[in-house]
Every structure is written in structure tokens, then in C-alpha cells.
Structure 1
Amino acid sequence: MIKRIWHGWTDPGMAASYAHILETQVLPGIEAKAIPGYLGIEVLRRDLETEVEFITIMSFRSIDDIIAFQGPNYERCYVPDAAQKVLKRWDLISQHYELEDARSYE
């Protein structure tokens, strides 16, 4: 399994707007594409002193599935215009990690 990780930061006053864009546009848009090998996405949020950090972690079966989805420049991120308007800054590329081990601690 491959984890595709991306970071974006916004001002605290814009965090709710960005979360809304994620919930109503970005995540449904990804799901609607029915991407082969796509297994899901997690969204993390961390409130800092002067900004709010968001991390998305997309899971794919293989790097080939990501390349089929994103093309040969698969590391490059895509940030919709609506999100760019509320984000302060963001990663221009996504990082890709192979999942070595997954354990459940429930």
C-alpha cells in the first residue's frame, strides 16, 4: 500500500472555510472519480499558534495506481481554486510512502 501525504496551512479564521471545501467539494470530487486502486483518504488537522495545518493521507494499492490517476508527474499536487483562496500556503508536491506495517490498537 502507498500513502500519498500532502500538507496545507491556513489562517485560523479560514480553517472552517477550508474544512467545508474539503467536505463538500474536494473529498466528494475524489470519490466521484472512482480511481482504480484508491482505498480512501484521511484528513488531519492541527491548530498552531498562528495558523492551522491540514494533512491529507490518501491510500492506494500501488504507485502505479497513483501514476494512472495523476500522470507521469504524479508527485505534483492539485489544489482546487476554491481551496487556494483560503489556504495560506501548501506543499507543491506530495510525498509517497510505502506502508511497511499496520497494526490496530483497539
Structure 2
Amino acid sequence: MILRLWSGWTTAEQARAYDQVLDSEVAPGIVDRDLPGLEGFEVWHRVAQERRDRHEFLTAMRFTDLAAVSEFTGGDPHTSVVPARARAVLDHFDAHSRHYELRRRHV
């Protein structure tokens, strides 16, 4: 199992717009691809403690293996996949995702 983490940041004013892009375009686009090996897809949100005007959106995707991640990205498994409408409301995002291999599950 591979956990793929990616973050994007935006302003407080643009956070709602990015949330709408997630719900209307990004999430449906990923789900509609019916990707083999995609086990789960979650989006987490936080307001930065150090700067209340900064909102971080963390995408956590679970894949069966790195080959499934490569299928999602279209090649390099570390490349970010950020649609144009999402790029328009984010002021910064990870150019590459982080990947973690599941070692053990306790619960």
C-alpha cells in the first residue's frame, strides 16, 4: 500500500473557490477515471497557525502500489496532477508528491 500526499495553499479569500473546484472538478475527475489500484482519496484542510490567512489543502490518496500511482500521473509517480482551474486559485502547491509505503496497520 502506498500513501501519496500532496499539498496546495491558498488565501482565506480563495479557500472557498478551491473547495468548489475540488468538489465540482478534481474529485469527480479522479473518481470517473476508475483507476485500477486507487484504494482511497481524501482531502484534508487546515488554517495555518502561524498565518491565519493561509489555508492548506492536503490530498491523501492510497494506492495498491507505485505502478498504480504512475497510472494516475501518466508516467512519473512523483509528478503533481493539478488541473488548470485548481492552479488558478492556489497560490502555491507541491511540484512533487510524497509517497510512503505501509509497514504495518495497528487498528
After TM superposition, the score normalised by the length of structure 1 is 0.91
The corresponding residue for 1:20 is 20
Distance between the aligned counterparts of 1:57 and 1:9, measured in 2?
15
The corresponding residue for 2:58 is 55
1:92 is the counterpart of 2:95: yes
1:69 is the counterpart of 2:69: no
Task: Give a deviation string over 1:67-100, Cα, whole Å, max 9, x none.
Answer: 2332432201011111111101000000110122
Distance between the aligned counterparts of 1:16 and 1:6, measured in 2?
19
Gap regions ≥5 residues in structure 2: none
Give the SS at the match of 1:21.
helix
Q: RMSD value over aligned CA atoms?
A: 1.2
Shift of 1:36: 0.5
Of all paired residues, the percent bearing the same amino acid is 37
Task: Give a deviation string over 1:14-46, Cα, whole Å, max 9, x none.
Answer: 101101110111000000001000011111100
Matched letter for residue 80 of structure 2:
C
**Contact persistence 2:80–2:94 (CA under 8 A):** yes
The corresponding residue for 1:83 is 86
Gap regions ≥5 residues in structure 1: none
Distance between the aligned counterparts of 2:73 and 2:56, measured in 1?
24
The corresponding residue for 2:41 is 41
Give the SS at the match of 1:14.
helix
Aligned residues: 104
